Amino acid sequence: MRVLIVEDDNSLARQIQQQLVEQGFAVDVAVDGEEGLYLGREYDYDAAVIDIGLPLLNGISLIQTLRAEQRRFPIIVLTARGHWQDKVEGLEAGADDYMVKPFDFPELKARLQAVIRRAAGFVQAVLTFDDLSIDTHTQKVVLGGAEISLTSYEYNTLLYFAHHPGKVISKTELTDHLYDQDYDRDSNVIEVFVGRLRKKIDPDGTRKPIKTLRGQGYRFEYQP
């Protein structure tokens, strides 16, 4: 999942970035509102974490502008003061949740996963597709009652597919959502991940949950 962090405090922004990357997120960081707006317009993020008190363009205006431009990705707004006025304004501007500083990283991660899941139309933390289930809290994947072991990238690839069932996903889109903008992209790596993933979630090759559409990309065939 690719996340945009817009936070003017560089130490905090880098800390969030580092911890999210460790959890398998692709993270881009903007240190002011205008840079945040540029990145938000340029890339299709899975979620954004936006601080209210930003230089150049404040967080509320940034969210309003993104929403006005039909950028639908879920947003968590960060507030230092914790005033309800700020929280309500953030939510009214188009944010989906709020967090008051200082916060625990595990809580931010959980909230991020929740808003991403909700945006994809899932209410529960466990996404179930036939006999395949993905627990977004514990990151455990169970197939036919048995837990299967996935690497971080494999899990993130599966999670992205699971959040967009039935949608044609190009390799570029997959790359965009799995790697941050600084990553040296190689579409062959995606093919390798998808190949490994197919073997793990469809070991006998009968279900074919991830279909390849020549020249277009992939489609997750399961429906929740």
Partner 1 sequence: MLIPLSLAVIGTGYFIAANNSAEAAQRQYMQLTVYLLLANADINHNGELVMGPLIEEPRLANPQSKFYAVVSNEQGDVYWRSASSVAVSLPQLATDLQLVPFGSDAFSMGIDDMSHYRRPVLWEMGNGDQVKLVFHVLEDGNWVSQQLEENQGILRASYVLTTVLLLAVLLFIVRWGLQPLSALVNQLQRVEDGMSDHIVGRYPSELQDLVGAINRLLENEQKQRERYRNALSDLSHSLKNPLSVLRNDINTLTGEARTSADNAIARMQEIIDFQMQRASIQSIDSVVKQRVNLYELAERVVRGLQKVYAERDLDIGLQGEAAWLSGDKRDLIELLGNLADNACKAATDKVRITITARQGEVLLSVEDDGPGVEASMLEQITQRGQRADQYKSGHGIGLAMVADIVANMRASMTLQQSEWGGARFDVVIPCPRQINL
Give residues 161-190 in contact with partner 1 (rule: CB under 8 A): none
Q: Are residues 39 and 30 in contact, defined by beta-carbon separation less than 8 angstroms?
A: yes
Q: Per CB under 8 A, which of residues 3..62 are in contact with partner 1?
A: 9, 11-12, 15, 19, 53
Cβ of residue 66: shortest distance to partner 1, in angstroms?
16
- Other beta carbons within 10 Å of 45: 24
Contact set for partner 1, span 121-150 (CB under 8 A): 123
C-beta of 80 vs 192, nearer to partner 1: 80
What tokens were used for 175? 């790359």
The residue among 82 and 166 lying less far from partner 1, judged by its C-beta, is: 82
- Shortest approach of partner 1 to residue 60 CB, angstroms? 13
Tell me the number of residues near partner 1 by CB under 8 A: 29
Compute the least distance from the CB of residue 201 to partner 1, in Å.
Answer: 26
DSSP codes, the chain:
-EEEEE-S-HHHHHHHHHHHHHTT-EEEEESSHHHHHHHHHHS--SEEEEESS-SSS-HHHHHHHHHHTT--S-EEEEESS--HHHHHHHHHHT-SEEEESS--HHHHHHHHHHHHHHHTT--SSEEEETTEEEETTTTEEEETTEEE---HHHHHHHHHHHHSTT-EE-HHHHHHHHS-TTS---HHHHHHHHHHHHHHHSTTSSS--EEEETTTEEEE----
Q: Which is nearer to partner 1, 134 or 201 (CB)?
A: 134
| Shortest Å, Cβ 35 to partner 1 | 18
Q: Given the structure tokens 């597709």, which residue do they identify?
A: 129
Pattern 85-124, binding to partner 1, x per CB under 8 A?
x-xx--xx--xxxx--xxxxx-x------x---x----x-
Residue 224 as a binder of partner 1 (CB under 8 A): the answer is no
Report the nearest approach of partner 1 to the CB of residue 77 (Å): 11
Residue (15 or 175) nearer to partner 1, CB: 15
Residues of this chain that bind partner 1 (CB under 8 A): 9, 11-12, 15, 19, 53, 80-85, 87-88, 91-92, 95-98, 101-105, 107, 114, 118, 123
